[in-house]
């Protein structure tokens, strides 16, 4: 089996290393950063550069690029992709990409499925990629409603063979709604939290809570700006929700309302205990 990977950053680089480590398969790779591409070849993580001339040899194509670049890449290369090949985009949002490429995918001989590996770090780039990033992680797949069930099952088996702990199949819309809460809101809250002037005084006063809440404040602003704007409606709903909740806590403090504050904290603890059992 031959894999093609477009984009060798944290996710694409980790995919390449995982494929080599767990399957020992042939990998063609591409990255706009020539130094990254050379490093990946020197480290024998990829066997050769992915080009328009050899993309047709790939049985599986993994696209780890920004959303707009992903759409451009598939649109530009769709006629050269091998018949029957699997094509997965690995972006953090799905609806904008799936909608943009549906017509192309429906009239092509390859199988296009949206994908989102639920694993990452606060660091980006090939230098931080590892062959264990996806171990026991969840892989989300968002096929079209007309995607054959047999193809979906093959896609599941592929990602389980790469070490993912489970594969969840859902719609692009549902993915984006939930990701707005589980990922995007967390990044915005973390990024906003460190803007307090008190952050400059944290050394010697900070422990686990501070580290947990600020970890993803260190983000790639170019990538996350695109992801946020492509998913702005559900993300705005989540921001409105947390702002409303924070206002309740603030009002209880202003009014020195001990009972309301205690009830708010109790309710939050109970919800956390409940969701941890799901």
What's residue 5's pLDDT? Answer: 98
What's residue 121's pLDDT? Answer: 79
Distances (CA, A) of 204 to 119, 201, 270, 273: 30, 8, 31, 30
The residue written with tokens 């695109």 in the block is 226
What's residue 108's pLDDT? Answer: 95
Place domain 2-170 in its CATH homologous superfamily: NAD(P)-binding Rossmann-like Domain (3.40.50.720)
Question: What are the E-state strand segments in 149-253?
Answer: 166-169
* Residue 42's pLDDT band (cuts 50, 70, 90): very high
Per-residue pLDDT, averaged over 154-164, amounts to 98
Give the pLDDT confidence of 75-108 residue by residue, as tens digits.
999 999 999 999 999 999 999 999 999 999 999 9
- The yes-or-no answer to whether 2-170 and 175-275 have a common fold is no
Give the pLDDT confidence of 161-183 residue by residue, as tens digits.
999 999 999 999 999 999 999 99
Nearest to 251 by CA among 263, 260, 239: 260
- Domains of the chain, by residue range, sit at 2-170, 175-275
The fold for domain 175-275 equals 6-phosphogluconate dehydrogenase C-terminal fold (1.10.3660)
pLDDT at 123 over 90: no
């Amino acid at each position: 089996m031959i894999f093609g990977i477009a984009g060798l950053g944290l996710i694409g680089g980790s995919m390449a290393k995982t494929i080599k480590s767990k399957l020992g398969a042939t990998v063609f790779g591409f990255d706009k950063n020539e130094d990254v591409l050379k490093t990946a070849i020197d480290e024998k993580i990829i066997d050769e550069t992915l080009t328009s001339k050899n993309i047709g040899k790939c049985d599986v194509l993994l696209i780890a690029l920004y959303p707009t670049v992903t759409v451009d890449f598939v649109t530009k290369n769709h006629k050269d992709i091998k018949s029957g090949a699997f094509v997965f985009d690995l972006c953090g949002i799905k609806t904008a990409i799936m909608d943009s490429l549906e017509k192309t995918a429906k009239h092509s001989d390859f199988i296009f499925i949206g994908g989102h590996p639920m694993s990452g770090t606060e660091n980006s780039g090939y230098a931080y990629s590892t062959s264990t990033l996806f171990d026991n992680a969840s892989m989300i797949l968002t096929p079209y409603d007309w995607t054959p069930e047999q193809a979906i099952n093959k896609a599941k088996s592929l990602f389980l063979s790469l070490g993912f702990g489970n594969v969840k199949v859902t719609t692009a819309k549902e993915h984006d709604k939930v990701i707005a809460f589980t990922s995007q809101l967390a990044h915005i809250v973390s990024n906003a939290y460190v803007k307090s002037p008190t952050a400059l005084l944290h050394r010697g006063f900070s422990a686990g809570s501070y580290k947990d809440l600020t970890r993803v404040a260190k983000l790639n602003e170019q990538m996350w700006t695109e992801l946020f704007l492509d998913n702005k409606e559900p993300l705005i709903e989540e921001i409105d929700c947390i702002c409303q909740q924070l206002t309740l806590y603030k009002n209880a403090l202003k009014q020195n309302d001990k009972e309301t504050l205690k009830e708010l904290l109790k309710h939050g603890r109970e919800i956390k205990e409940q969701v941890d059992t799901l």
